[in-house]
Amino acid sequence: MSRAPGPRRLRASSQARIEAILAAARDLLPEHGVAGLSIYSVAERAQIPPSSVYHFFASVPALLEALTADIHRAFRAALQAPIDTNALTTWHDLARLVEQRTQAIYSEDAAARQLILAQHGLNEVTRADRQHDLELDSLMRALFEQHFHLPALPEDVDVFALAMALSDRVYARSVQLHDSITPRMAEEGMRVFEAYLGLYLPAFLVKRCR
């Protein structure tokens, strides 16, 4: 019985170390980029031995895949944050609010810009990003259904995930050219997002009674 707390302390310690590693990688990405990141530089920034980093992440791609998942938690939280339905007149209002929250994450998080918007060529990160996009697709669809009566949507097309991917391409172009999402390209991203959703959503949707 006296040994029972041991594993719990170990799990908490391991989680704390993982979080320190991810925080170090997040800090280093703006300085070195994906290509310049190494296990040793992350270990030095986190002030832990390289062997400890390797214990949790066998390679830099594996570490960046985990960091991508960490970044997507912010996107999920943005979709789950409260929304005043009284401020919504049409579904376009909701679409713009969602994109504004997305843009805020990109603006505040250089690691998100590096891993999701930049061209890095890491298949592990790209696959992880696409998989997380499917989770965001379900959350966004649920969010729209929470506030509006949606029409029947195709089951063989991830409408909301594709809308996000298209607006991300606009933001990626802006980051490539200007190292940031400019106000002009932020507006273009919103227009692309709304235009694609408009292929499946009529101009007017009935709001749900609250």
| CATH-assigned architecture of domain 1-58 | Orthogonal Bundle (1.10)
| Amino acid 15: pLDDT | 86
- End-to-end CA gap in the chain: 51
Residue 127 confidence (pLDDT): 78
Burial of 27: CB neighbours in 10 Å, binned 0-12, 13-18, 19+: middle
**What are the distances in angstroms from CA 186 to CA 34, 70, 100?**
24, 23, 8
Whether residue 100 contacts residue 39, with contact meaning beta carbons closer than 8 Å, is answered with: no
Q: Is 157 helix (H, G, I), strand (E, B) or coil?
A: coil
Per-residue pLDDT of the chain (210 residues; tens, 9 = 90+): 334 444 444 477 788 899 999 999 999 988 888 888 899 999 999 999 999 999 999 999 899 888 888 888 999 999 999 999 899 999 999 999 999 999 999 999 998 998 888 876 677 777 777 788 889 999 999 999 999 999 999 999 999 999 999 999 999 999 999 989 999 999 999 999 999 999 999 999 999 976
Backbone phi and psi for residue 207, each to the nearest 5 degrees, phi listed first: -75, 150
Look at residue 54 in the predicted model and tell me its pLDDT: 93
Q: In the chain, where are the structural domains located? A: 1-58, 64-210
CATH architecture of 64-210: Orthogonal Bundle (1.10)
Inter-residue contact 91 to 196 (CB < 8 Å): no
